[in-house]
Amino acid sequence: MKLIDVKKLELLYSENFEKNLKGRRILFEDIDPLLQKLSSKFKKEILGHSENNIPIYKISIGTGKIKILIWSQMHGNESTGTKAVFDLFNFFEECNAELSEVYDQIFKNCTIQFIPLLNPDGAIKFTRENANNIDLNRDAVERKAVESSLLRSVLDEFNPKFCFNLHDQRSIFNVEGSPNPATISFLAPSVDEERTVTEGRKETMSVIVSMNSLLQQIIPNQIGRYTDEFYPKATGDNFQKLGHNTILIEAGHFKDDYQREITRKYNFYALLQGLYFISTEKNYGNFEPYYDIPNNDTKFLDIIYKNIKMAKNNSIQIVDIGIQLKFKVIANKLAMYKHIEKVGDLSDYYSYNYINAENLDIKELELSNS
């Protein structure tokens, strides 16, 4: 298994970083100028339009026989993968001498199609769903949304061997048995309720093993694994079932990184390593270490207020309040707010931010349960 030199990656990332994409809310108007500037290395075309008539692009690069499809932001409020994709575009544009072998192998052996920002309407609202309140990741069978039909049309026409489905996960996820947030999580989707380990799933798992092996050198014990419970309507499960090896990458929390600018870097590293592995590997038999990646758990909270007094049943109780920081659009700007996630004894939960609130009134905390 070939791994990219981590030291070279770390030194060169600043050259590939797309500085014009920052923050959690990435819109079509943010990526359109960057798409227009892509060089002739890339083939770009408008695949179609969203429910609200915003263009959805397909970008192609590479000359090889191995076909790979990558899409991001099928949930409009999950933009880290989109930023990582544009960092990847910059990598292909620059072709750094120190990593030329990685570039050459991918470009020579793979043909890659990208759909950056599949759900531009949801991006504006900063919601998972599209303009018609359809979750595209649960629309793979019925394909009620025009965006779902566009994605499936590319799958059927292109017939990729591998797919990368890029998502974000909430900051509540930690690595099971650890106080660490799950900064990156992976999933090799199941093809049936029995979670049968098909040859395609083994190939998918082996790609994930390579990505995990790289990331463990940089963020050890901060990589998790999603449950492989079968979801009959989910995109990854259905694409895997159709014979297209589908790798889910879930970008999560890193300490103090609420704009996901550090996580995007690790998302980019994972993508690049995955592509490099696919472009060079002949044997996909090393899949069992996939099961050594700890499961995701839901024990991480952004803030834990300790020892707060609450009135209940004519008495005062001492409880902890766990906060997840969430986002919503107000006056076309993204605002962060404190959402009450858990109340009670939170001694078995983790956070980077514990606050002793024994002298605070809960009304002073400006919390929301919406």
Both 258 and 122 in one domain: the answer is yes
> Which three-class secondary structure state does DSSP give residue 319?
strand
Facing residues of 62 across strands?
111
Q: Of 256, 273, 297, which residue sits at a domain end?
A: 297
The tokens 């590997």 sit on which residue? 281
pLDDT score for 315:
84
286 with 162, same domain: the answer is yes
DSSP annotation string for 235-303 = HHHHHHHTT-EEEEEEE---TT-TT-HHHHHHHHHHHHHHHHHHHH-S-----GGGGGSPBEES-B-SE
Q: Extract long-range pairs of 89-92: CB within 8 Å, 24+ residues apart.
A: 89/18, 89/34, 89/38, 89/42, 89/59, 90/15, 90/16, 90/17, 90/18, 91/16, 91/268, 91/272, 92/41, 92/42, 92/61
> Looking at the chain, which runs of residues are DSSP E strands?
43-49, 55-62, 66-72, 110-115, 162-168, 174-175, 184-187, 223-225, 245-251, 296-297, 303-312, 315-330, 333-344, 354-356
Same domain, 273 and 338: no
* Whether 350 and 262 share a structural domain: no
Rounded-to-integer distance, Cα 63 and Cα 71, Å:
19
Range of the domain at 117: 6-297
Taking only the tens of pLDDT, the chain with its 370 residues reads 899 999 999 999 988 899 999 999 999 999 999 999 999 999 999 999 999 999 999 999 999 999 999 999 999 999 999 999 999 999 999 888 899 999 999 999 999 999 999 999 999 999 999 999 999 999 999 999 999 999 999 999 999 999 999 999 999 999 999 999 999 999 999 999 999 999 999 999 999 999 999 999 999 999 999 999 999 999 999 999 999 999 999 999 999 999 999 999 999 999 999 999 999 999 899 999 999 999 999 999 999 999 998 877 788 889 999 999 999 999 999 999 999 999 999 999 999 999 998 887 776 666 655 4
* Residues 278, 334 share a domain: no
Chain-centre distance for alpha carbon 268: 10
> Is 316 domain-assigned?
yes
Number of domains in the chain: 2
Residues 290 and 317 in one domain: no
Q: Is residue 247 part of a domain?
A: yes
Residues 216 and 326 in one domain: no
